[in-house]
Homo-oligomer: A and B are copies of this chain.
Amino acid sequence: MILSDITDIKQTPQRLAIIEYLELNRVHPSALDVYKAVSEKFPTMSFATVYNTLEKLKEKRLIIELSIDTGKKRFDCDTRPHHHLICVKCREIFDVFTEFILELPEDEFQGFDIIGNHVDFYGICKKCKDIEGLGSEQNKD
């Protein structure tokens, strides 16, 4: 997402702050993350503004909405095609730019017109591994 891409929507201070936050925090934040950070600059800002802005940016295809967490939307300001590496402990999401050739055999098509694919890799991130290692005697999952 590039600021200059935002042409046909009004450039309000709140929106610019939200966009700046997304540009600088590429950890796939939730709406709450965005709200918390941006409302420090704009204490009167409401949640609706965050959601409205994120929705608008999504419409303009400047960000992508992720369904990786149930019960919570997360947003990705990198719209290049890519995959994800997700920590099953802390739910941090990392980007993966390797391309994979995924040919679905015809008999699995189920009558679909296929338009894309996405791979999620699951694992345990370095930080969570280290924490696990430390507490190995009184290990609780």
Contact = CB atoms under 8 A, between A and B. Distances in A.
B121 A116 contact: yes
A115 B110 contact: no
Interface in A43-84: 65-73
**How many identical chains are in the complex?**
2
A112 B92 CA distance: 11
B96 A112 contact: no
B108 A115 contact: no
Interface of A: 65-73, 85, 87-88, 94, 96-98, 100, 102, 104-105, 108-126, 129
20 contacts: A69-B70, A87-B112, A88-B115, A94-B110, A98-B104, A110-B126, A111-B125, A111-B126, A111-B129, A112-B121, A112-B124, A112-B125, A112-B126, A113-B124, A114-B121, A117-B120, A117-B122, A118-B119, A118-B120, A118-B122
